[in-house]
Structure 1
């Protein structure tokens, strides 16, 4: 019972464990792959604005998988991210939009405009 309350305040202990595992996995990568993965992580954390821990650890786990496999296959970093790393990162991020805070704001905006335009009343009458 107390554990659930603590997790409400601090977040999921399992997700924290998964995040630490991700960091360990990235730390084990060869230097160039580690640098690329770390740079992508930083950008994704800023750009993605993910608020759901499960989505975040899933995304980071997939990023680690990608770089571990690429390292094992000796795939050049440019073959992974292409010539535009920003485009790569943003395309990668689109797979995890369910956890972004902006989704809640988009819904809030739509509801506010619907209410202001009178669309809410029309839906109830239908």
Structure 2
């Protein structure tokens, strides 16, 4: 129940953003729904609202927030939250397993696969 209330508050906050920020937040949400952390992401969404509220108040251009690669930005952003760390761990695990299977000496010992 608490997460639902917080999520509704987040949505109300983002609806008050200027159109370009609101469009950006909606695109981020869409990306995160498909590729992001899933459950427990409300604090991440609240931080996104903070970021865009501050950026709108300061007149910060969208490209200045994201840089040239929006995917790189959002991937780095997600890694700051415990719910996003599983992706990094699993990517590393996959890479290590493929390197071992290919007979490459990685210098790492990952016995999880």
Fold match, TM over 0.5? yes
Q: Which protein has the bigger helix share?
A: 1
2:33 is aligned to 45
Provide the C-alpha distance between the structure 2 equivalents of 1:60 and 1:38, rounded to a whole number of angstroms: 11
C-alpha offsets along residues 8-56 of structure 1, whole Å, 9 cap, x if unaligned?
xxxxx111000000001111001001001111121122211333x2xx1
Where relative contact order (Cα < 8 A, 6+ residues apart) is larger, the structure is 1
Using structure 1 for the length normalisation, give the TM-score: 0.66
Provide the C-alpha distance between the structure 1 equivalents of 2:8 and 2:111, rounded to a whole number of angstroms: 39
- Unpaired segments ≥5 residues, structure 2: 94-109
From 70, 78, 86, the equivalent of 1:85 is: 70
2:83 is aligned to 99
8 Å Cα contact 1:50-1:101 kept in structure 2:
no
Using structure 2 for the length normalisation, give the TM-score: 0.73
Provide the C-alpha distance between the structure 2 equivalents of 1:102 and 1:88, rounded to a whole number of angstroms: 17
Q: How many residues of Structure 1 are paired with residues of Structure 2 in the alignment?
A: 94
- Unpaired segments ≥5 residues, structure 1: 1-12, 114-126
What does 1:1-126 align with in structure 2 at a 5 Å threshold?
A: 13-51=1-39, 53=40, 56-96=41-81, 98-100=82-84, 102=86, 113=113
Q: Who wins on radius of gyration, i.e. which is larger?
A: 1
- Give runs of ≥4 in structure 1 deviating > 3 Å: 100-103, 110-113
